[in-house]
Structure 1
């Protein structure tokens, strides 16, 4: 596979990277430890590159792993007009990152600082997370238009921050999330666009998937990594033992990809720290348990589409699971007073368990038709899906915004 080209840190490439006069340079930036955010926006890059000769589209990534994953998602359908650029870290940054990434996004911020001149040379930056806003504090020079695609459409408070108002344009999957931002006064209507869910454009929901060589129903367990909210620290090994002993269910253990990226998890939002336990070998060897802690299948909805039931805590993946509505059960391992709380609205789609002795009963209760009606209602509120692909709608919203917004603003 061809490697991405690597610009000199702090320099704008002058060897064909600069587009012809009048074209807008738009960069899709991926700056993270893992590639899980890429599918939420990379299809938009493809559609924007296809849509109009007014745009010169680049995919920027801070590791070769991210570049390779972006190519994998786009596959052969990506137009040749997209330019891939690797923004590497230096040796000192890598050493310090191994220390300070344990307590905060040190490497992400260091990447923004190291490549600030390259990044601020664009007319627009399209990003799936909020860290890039730091560019507006790191530089005293002209900054690009900032477009926020978000990643996931969950209900947790961490997804509803006032800082989103600092973006020039925010893309939403549906009215539920957009309206919550507007009601809080964090965004103005003209800063927003509802475009559907571009990640759904990367999957075929009807493709058959068989994970086990038996006819048992399959439960997918998707714990979040947050040390204050995740069920894994309290319940995880007991859940594995529960299904190890089960003669009724298969289990897919498919945590958020960041859970097993670190041994120590620290939340600066809740000032919580937890050590992540390891998984005993016997669970890996069990024929009706599949354990995946880091493969691409954690990010491409393989397990979300293959499983018959969902078991989780606060992950937004439950909404992806609802692409085909099926029973789900939620684990309240942190004693949340969740009823009537908008941060836990998704917990109304199935039974909530705080005692694992009630788990089997909850898995049966989750099949109640009343929950199915609620799942369909929340899916429709969360995802505004039309016959037009979401990535096409998103690219059109970005194009319209940028062509109206010329020239780009100053910091």
Structure 2
């Protein structure tokens, strides 16, 4: 049995959601051949995690995929990286490798093209998903096209079931493999002075992100204040593309990142894509979460703390399951409202703490057995090997 794990993206933010499963599968079944297939954008994060987590004496098979064609690269650059022609080209140029597999495990949905466009009908596709957020795109029709879907908890199962996207014999609740990774070794203090620390974590979607309408103002506000330390750690794809498109609803965003020299203050830390922005270093370090649509808020409330959500578009969010995470804190629409919310360091009242704990348990089914082990067992059982 040959099982592949594919990481084919411009960034490494999806790696931790599936790579621990690959390493655990290799531990559990030495008769299964596990190949980790990587493209340029994900390779460094795959190798970083693998170096620390791979089974002793049994290094995993990491295969560097053939890169996209020059034409696909040009199309990607010409569109400001809005058109993922390079990602699709990688799939096409490595079909021979995918044909060798019995199953392919992926954290994204573009790989469905292997069946729908490239004709690999017999290849079984396993979806680990990435994150446990509430955005509508996580529950679109593509979610039902995988042979097996691994779910973090009851919330994801219930929403897929309500949308009639859940196959009875093609899903398993396994927890959250990213939580199995140990924390990074403690480094130097993030800030020289002890202040309440806020992590600002805007999403890249121009239809949902606070960055495009108020992000620079937020950085300016914190730069002018000495009350808080601020970690600006957006989704790693926010500035990876010059143009970002949202399809539902349609919106375009032109991505101009902050100039670090413009915010050269000892109480501001700007990180737009280092490993620390991927492995929960900042969500663990912060006292307060500031964000919009990112699923990272659910990783943050693993340890309940105050949250503030930014709604510059004045979305009618109450009762909308796509914004259920906003129930975990205070929602503000303007810089003035944000300033008022931060006039004093926010506290977490008992009822809100209980709400966050309930939301976390509903999103993540964590047990004594590691999530990656449960995911590996689910894959082997589905493939007939467990």
TM range (shorter): over 0.9
* Structure-to-structure mapping, 1:340-379, within 5 angstroms: 340-363=319-342, 364-365=345-346, 367-379=348-360
Q: Report if aligned partners of 1:351, 1:365 keep a CA contact under 8 Å in 2.
A: no
Matches within 5 A, 1:250-265: 250-265=229-244
Structure 1 pair 100–87 and aligned structure 2 pair: CA distance change class (3 A) = farther
Deviation at 1:356, TM superposition (A): 1.5
Residue 401 of structure 1 corresponds to 382
Cα distance, 1:207 vs. partner? 6.0
SS in 2 for 1:125: strand
Q: How far is 1:177 from its partner?
A: 0.9
Report the equivalent of 2:180.
Answer: 201
Contact kept? 1:103, 1:268, Cα under 8 Å? no
Cα 1:270–1:134 change in 2 (3 A) is: same
State which of 384, 391, 398 in structure 1 corresponds to 2:372: 391
3-state SS in 2 of match to 1:398:
helix
Q: TM-score, normalised by structure 2?
A: 0.94
Counterpart-to-counterpart distance in 2, 1:281 and 1:62:
29
Q: Distance in 1 between matches of 2:185 and 2:276?
A: 16
The answer for the alignment partner of 1:77 in structure 2 is: 53
Secondary structure at the counterpart of residue 169 of structure 2: helix
More deviation in 384-393 or 74-83? 74-83
What displacement does 1:184 show?
1.4
> Residue 334 and residue 281 in structure 1: after superposition, are their counterparts in 2 closer, same or farther (change >3 A)?
same
2:225 to 234, 242, 246: 246
Using the TM superposition, give the Cα deviation of residue 120 of structure 1 relative to its aligned residue in structure 2, in angstroms: 2.5
Residues 87/303 of structure 1: CA separation in 2 closer, same or farther (3 Å cut)? same
Q: Which moved more, 1:108-117 or 1:129-138?
A: 108-117
Q: Cα distance 1:220–1:314, how it changes in 2: closer, same or farther (>3 A)?
A: same
Structure 1 range deviating more: 98-107 or 267-276: 98-107
Tell me, what secondary structure is at the counterpart of 1:113?
A: helix
- After alignment, is 179-188 or 196-205 more displaced? 196-205
Unaligned ranges ≥5, structure 1 = 1-23, 406-411
Deviation string, structure 1 residues 337-385 (Cα, Å, up to 9, x no partner): 0001100000000000002112143245553322211111100100111
Deviations 1:30-79 (A, max 9, x none): 1111111001110100000010133100000121x522311211224313
Indicate yes or no: 2:305 matched with 1:326: yes
- Tell me if the contact between 1:263 and 1:276 (Cα under 8 Å) persists in the aligned partners: yes
TM-score calculated relative to the size of structure 1: 0.88
Matched-pair contact (CA < 8 Å) for 2:184–2:281: no
Aligned length: 381
What's the offset of the Cα at 1:223? 0.4
Structure 1: distance between partners of 2:290 and 2:173:
29
The equivalent position to 1:137 in structure 2, one of 116, 137, 142, is 116
Gaps of 5+ in 2: none
Q: State the distance in 1 between where 2:367 and 2:244 align.
A: 39
**1:116 and 2:95 equivalent?**
yes
SS at match of 1:32: coil
| Deviates further, 117-126 or 204-213 | 204-213
d(CA) in 2 for partners of 1:377, 1:209: 34
- Which residue of the partner structure matches residue 85 of structure 2? 106
Which of 288, 311, 333 is equivalent to 1:309? 288
Q: 2:2 is matched with which residue?
A: 25
CA distance in 1 between counterparts of 2:318 and 2:358 reads 18
Deviations 1:53-111 (A, max 9, x none): 33100000121x52231121122431325211111223333223322463332111111
Q: Is the partner of 1:189 in helix, strand or coil? A: coil
Q: Secondary structure at the match of 2:2?
A: strand
- How many Å apart are 1:395 and its aligned residue? 0.6
Q: Does 1:67 align with 2:7?
A: no
CA deviation string 1:247-273 (max 9, x = no partner): 211100000000111222222332211
